[in-house]
Structure 1
Amino acid sequence: SRNVSFTDLYPGATYEISLVYETSSTNFTQCASHPNVTTSPPSLRGRCENVASGYSALIVWDKAEGVLTKILVHMNGKNHTVDGKEDRFTIPGLQPAKTYPVALISMSGNRISGPFDFICATDNRGVIAGSVVGVLLFAVLVCVAAFILLKSGKKSIIAGSKKTGPKKTTISVATFPEHFMLLSADENRGFSEEYESLEPVGKDQTHKAASLPENKSKNRFTNILPYDWSRVKLITPSPSDTLDYINANYMPGYNRNREYIASQGPLTATVPDFWRMVWEQRVKGIVMVTNCVESGRTKCDCYWPEDQKPCLHGDLLVTMSSEQKEPNWTLRNFRQLEKERAVGINDFVHRMRQHRSHMVQTESQYIFLHQCIMDCLKQKEKKEESDYENSDLIYANATALREFHNHNTGA
């Protein structure tokens, strides 16, 4: 049997489990990436208590037996995170004499309970006074609106037809230095405007599979979820949004729309799925762009064996054949720069964000990409060879990395 059941465990508690696989010749110890298992947290029962004036509501819940790290209160389209030791939370920004659906969810580490749903009705005091003021205000607004329409005339029609679609921003090699200086002027004002224009890209796309209750524990961060249309699916006997789920997306490259895969740093429980994806997608190389622990927080579980001993991840036996540590990396090839004599950083970041959220997370990282191209062009001015290679050039952007760490620390 491949399954073992445990009973009478404490809700939300973390237990250490050791597994040993026996074969005819030897024994394999389960990988160190599977030491702990957290049980499901206890479910909560909540209720709503009115607050005078009706513009806020007090959500109260009974404390349950178990280990709770956080409590999630969903109301009025927003999620509010509360410390697990609390038993109440006030929701502001509501309207009097209205009903709001509320969902109460308990969390223990990465495990979440099923939601407890109920309806909260706000107090109706202040509605009459508010109605009188509203009528007077509406009359004033009608007069002001009529005046503005008469004043603006045809201008409003012209302004309303302005297109807001993405602009083509491919820059030729010859003009890129001038373009870089233009964006750098006024304390990088141009970079700020370009980066801000990328903020809404991709946010209208769905991530239903990632939001399923069965899949939520497989996500390291709640705000970085794979879009449904571009997510990588594990091979399963039959279609299933839970069995085939992994937090990873296909990413575009220079040659194909599915040239790379962007994945979250594996969690303890998702390391076997990570290696399944590597095997099924025939991945030739893995680039880890984070440390296992940064700013005191775990960003990526150790998915490789830490010694030469074979390690089982699900049905896959992983062995580290060799290890070579280097302090830095060297970027050697810019294919688009070579073949087209042009580069479109803004366009490509736009494409990446359509495939996966939060690609290039800070403005400093966005500027850093441009600086890399500038460094590449400066090296080309000193050489006549067509291929770019400079083993002494090391890219290091402390500000971008620091902001990246700070951004994820608050995620």
Structure 2
Amino acid sequence: MPSNVEKVTAKLNDTDMILQWNIVSNIDNNTYNYALEYRDEPVNCINCIAERNEVTCHISALIPGTNYSFTLYTMFADLRSTGLNFYNMTTLSDITEVSVTRSQTDLIISWNKLNNNDIYNYTLKMQGEEKHFTGSVDKLTHTYRSLTPGTEHSFSLFTVVNNVISTGYSFKNVTTLDCASFNWIVTNSSIEAQVNGSTYVTAQNSTGSGQSGSVDGNRVNLRDLYPGESYTVSLFYDLESQRLPQCSHRLTLVPNSVSHLRCKYHSGGYGLAVIWDLPYGVVNMVQVDVGKQSFNQSHSSENPIKLEVKGLQAAQWYEVTATSFSGAMTSQKVSVNCQTDPAGVIAGVLVFFLLVIIICVAVFVWHRYGSAKHNKMPKPSVESKVPNKNYKYVLIPLDKFPEHFLNMIRDENRGFSEEYEDLSSVGIEQSSVAALLPENKDKNRFSNVLAYDSSRVHLTTNDEGDSDYINANYMPGYTNASRQYIAAQGPLPSTVNDFWRMVWEKRSQVIVMVTNCTESGRVKCEQYWPLDYMPCLYGHLLVSVKSEDKFPSWTLREFNVKNKTTSETRTVRHFHFTAWPDHGVPTGTEELIQFRGRIRQHVESSFSAGPTIVHCSAGVGRTGTLIALDVLLQQLDKDKAVGISAFVQQMRLSRPLMVQTESQYVFLHQCIIDTLQPKSVPKSEPLYENSDMIYVNAIALREYEK
């Protein structure tokens, strides 16, 4: 009978064993074989190799965390040894790679199953709470919800097989923060706040420079920053050699006040030259108030800066104040009292006496000669301008439109003039009672552009004293859809919150703006969105700029709008055409047609729940032209015909002065002809100047100046 193997060594993992032993020696150098059994059953040794004096046996497909008892026999002829008994236990590995997705209140723990083996089960512990998982899926995930922002949590992940549990893999993580929830104290050189869940802070401007440091005692204290500069403040949490980002916030420092504010005589005593030195730091604009007048002076590289103010009274004292602006941040006001040149008063008195003498002479001559002659002349007949009630608004087929266009432009656009004149009185008999109520008068930018009662947009009133009025009307669309658009005036400072209420309540997802905030030095529309990427609160709606893409003639923005009452968030697209002069038309049709195409493509692809809001300054001229162009191009595409005059009439029944000038009316025809024949039809002559004036609401303007 041969001898037993003296010793067996083993290399182990979860499912495999590699056994090695030395061959049993004998005097006659006979070759022995070996048999390995587990519970009296032969063991399949894959890759069983005998090299020189050593035998290697590889056993696979074992169960992790299991104790195996083997017997190894030495075989010769028909005999075998008594057998060597030995024990080996397979290991139980741990998960060592875990991914954590973080938010303010949730932590999502994810890991892949171990060794791609379904036999493993898993136990996840957090602060005594256990969660059990089976290994039947490739990716295992668990979400811890309703956690406190900025809090650290400890976890342990165990593998389990046959009720045997591994030593476990321990790790930590922390929930993120909402930077906007902290009370940030901003001065012209520092940023301070009391925070939690943060150990490190950085502040960087657009050039990448700034400051950083530890958060000591939950206190952020950043000093020696650049006045008026905008900084991205980011909070971090240091955890086990990792610096985890917690949140970021865009803050603008208070700009420095202007220095050496002073005045000089100007404009012959009827004006002042206001002069000041640029302050240290970033200043985007300086607002200068002289009496009741207000002027905005953009940033300039010249130093000192001079602003010429005209239209003042001679020999009068005026309080002149200057305020620096950087984004939405303002400096302290600097004031100085200045007197206009008194020399002009003397000249004014002389001119007054001369005018009195001339007027007296003119009155005497008229009474002596003119009145007698006037009484002898027959009174001229007065023609009443009654619109042609029988005017027919017809659809013109696209193949007939070029001929129609050529007929209309003959004799210096005589056809356009007559057709546009027929539209002048459409809708003017309608009432605007709500717009003229005392509590609503100041909400109208212009005193003769008032929302008709029949089609005006009603806001929801929740509290006593709320008004449902906003200067906006529903507009018809293609196929006579009565509420496809809302035509609105550009918001005033006092109606910005009402504007966003309208966007939210009417579920509008598209805003089209066809004016600039300031044109020719005059405010045409209050900027109703944040100046930068820092969210702004309008009433109970928090608006933030998600993206901004600028093109030569327009800018596309995307806003996130969050209702602070319900926590609901919506996305609103902002299409802003910047190359359209007030009371006029763009220099060409191509860019506006392309701009309208971008809007139409988005509206049709996003299935917007509410009407498209279109506004300029008054909400009638450029607004009406853009809405008409959108509807007419749909009509042209689907009906192969257009009725421009018919649709302008429909719009004027919903809101006054839609397509405000004759030049805009001709421009609509030019857009259609350029769409049909972009290369063959010559451009029209320069279009008419505006003849239909709108009158600024003096009460609202005074309120704005205050």
TM-score by length of 1: 0.55
CA distance in 2, matches of 1:24, 1:164: 62
Deviation at 1:326, TM superposition (A): 1.6
Deviation at 1:26, TM superposition (A): 3.8
Deviation at 1:320, TM superposition (A): 0.5
Q: Secondary structure at the match of 1:278?
A: helix
Q: Deviations over 1:110-156 (max 9, x none)?
A: xxxxxxxxxxxxxxxxxxxxxxxxxxx9xx99xxxxxxxxxxxxxxx
The reply to whether residue 367 of structure 1 matches residue 666 of structure 2 is yes
Deviation at 1:297, TM superposition (A): 1.7
The reply to whether residue 304 of structure 1 matches residue 550 of structure 2 is no
Counterparts of 1:179-328 in structure 2, within 5 Å, are: 179-237=404-462, 243-255=467-479, 256-328=481-553
CA distance in 2, matches of 1:380, 1:341: 20
The 1:369–1:25 alpha-carbon spacing in structure 2 relative to 1, beyond 3 Å, is same
Deviation at 1:283, TM superposition (A): 1.0
CA distance in 1, matches of 2:506, 2:658: 21
The 1:313–1:238 alpha-carbon spacing in structure 2 relative to 1, beyond 3 Å, is closer
CA distance in 2, matches of 1:360, 1:209: 23
CA distance in 1, matches of 2:464, 2:667: 41
The 1:368–1:230 alpha-carbon spacing in structure 2 relative to 1, beyond 3 Å, is same
CA distance in 1, matches of 2:441, 2:685: 33
The reply to whether residue 25 of structure 1 matches residue 250 of structure 2 is no
* Partner of residue 170, structure 1: 395
Deviation at 1:403, TM superposition (A): 3.6
The 1:27–1:355 alpha-carbon spacing in structure 2 relative to 1, beyond 3 Å, is farther
The letter for the 2-side match of 1:251 is M
Match of 1:346 among 636, 639, 645: 645
CA distance in 2, matches of 1:229, 1:289: 25
CA distance in 1, matches of 2:185, 2:643: 50
Q: Is residue 432–residue 450 contact of structure 2 (8 Å, CA) maintained in 1? A: yes
The 1:68–1:311 alpha-carbon spacing in structure 2 relative to 1, beyond 3 Å, is closer
Larger radius of gyration: 2
Q: State the identity as a percent.
A: 52
Tell me which moved more, 302-311 or 230-239. 230-239
The 1:344–1:364 alpha-carbon spacing in structure 2 relative to 1, beyond 3 Å, is same
* Partner of residue 337, structure 1: 636
CA distance in 2, matches of 1:354, 1:302: 29
CA distance in 1, matches of 2:415, 2:657: 20
The 1:360–1:397 alpha-carbon spacing in structure 2 relative to 1, beyond 3 Å, is farther
The letter for the 1-side match of 2:644 is I
The 1:178–1:410 alpha-carbon spacing in structure 2 relative to 1, beyond 3 Å, is farther
Q: Deviations over 1:169-220 (max 9, x none)?
A: 2111111111111111110000000000010011000000000111011111
Counterparts of 1:35-50 in structure 2, within 5 Å, are: none
Q: Is residue 477–residue 485 contact of structure 2 (8 Å, CA) maintained in 1? A: yes
The 1:410–1:309 alpha-carbon spacing in structure 2 relative to 1, beyond 3 Å, is closer
CA distance in 2, matches of 1:253, 1:208: 25
Deviation at 1:296, TM superposition (A): 2.3
The 1:205–1:311 alpha-carbon spacing in structure 2 relative to 1, beyond 3 Å, is same
Q: Deviations over 1:316-347 (max 9, x none)?
A: 10101111112224143622112111100000
The 1:211–1:186 alpha-carbon spacing in structure 2 relative to 1, beyond 3 Å, is same
Q: Larger RCO: Structure 1 or Structure 2 (Cα < 8 Å, ≥ 6 residues apart)?
A: 1
CA distance in 2, matches of 1:228, 1:362: 24
Tell me which moved more, 190-199 or 291-300. 291-300
Q: Deviations over 1:29-63 (max 9, x none)?
A: 9xx9xxxxxxxxxxxxxxxxxxxxxxxxxxxxxxx
Q: Secondary structure at the match of 1:320?
A: strand
Q: Is residue 445–residue 696 contact of structure 2 (8 Å, CA) maintained in 1? A: no
Deviation at 1:257, TM superposition (A): 1.2
The 1:398–1:264 alpha-carbon spacing in structure 2 relative to 1, beyond 3 Å, is farther
CA distance in 2, matches of 1:268, 1:234: 18
Gaps of 5+ in 1: 1-21, 33-66, 70-82, 86-136, 142-161, 383-394
CA distance in 1, matches of 2:482, 2:496: 26
Deviation at 1:399, TM superposition (A): 4.6
Q: Is residue 446–residue 696 contact of structure 2 (8 Å, CA) maintained in 1? A: no
* Partner of residue 297, structure 2: none
Q: Deviations over 1:357-378 (max 9, x none)?
A: 1111110100000000000001
Q: Is residue 198–residue 350 contact of structure 1 (8 Å, CA) maintained in 2? A: yes
Q: Is residue 458–residue 469 contact of structure 2 (8 Å, CA) maintained in 1? A: yes
Q: Secondary structure at the match of 1:312?
A: strand
The letter for the 2-side match of 1:170 is L
The 1:376–1:239 alpha-carbon spacing in structure 2 relative to 1, beyond 3 Å, is farther
Q: Is residue 205–residue 227 contact of structure 1 (8 Å, CA) maintained in 2? A: yes
The letter for the 2-side match of 1:180 is F
Q: Is residue 670–residue 684 contact of structure 2 (8 Å, CA) maintained in 1? A: no
Gaps of 5+ in 2: 1-178, 187-251, 253-290, 294-310, 314-374, 380-386, 554-590, 601-632, 698-706
Deviation at 1:312, TM superposition (A): 0.6
The 1:190–1:23 alpha-carbon spacing in structure 2 relative to 1, beyond 3 Å, is closer
CA distance in 1, matches of 2:531, 2:684: 27
The 1:281–1:378 alpha-carbon spacing in structure 2 relative to 1, beyond 3 Å, is same
Q: Is residue 172–residue 342 contact of structure 1 (8 Å, CA) maintained in 2? A: yes
The letter for the 2-side match of 1:314 is G
Q: Is residue 336–residue 342 contact of structure 1 (8 Å, CA) maintained in 2? A: yes
Deviation at 1:409, TM superposition (A): 7.9
Q: Is residue 28–residue 311 contact of structure 1 (8 Å, CA) maintained in 2? A: no
CA distance in 2, matches of 1:359, 1:254: 16
* Partner of residue 51, structure 1: none
The 1:370–1:163 alpha-carbon spacing in structure 2 relative to 1, beyond 3 Å, is closer
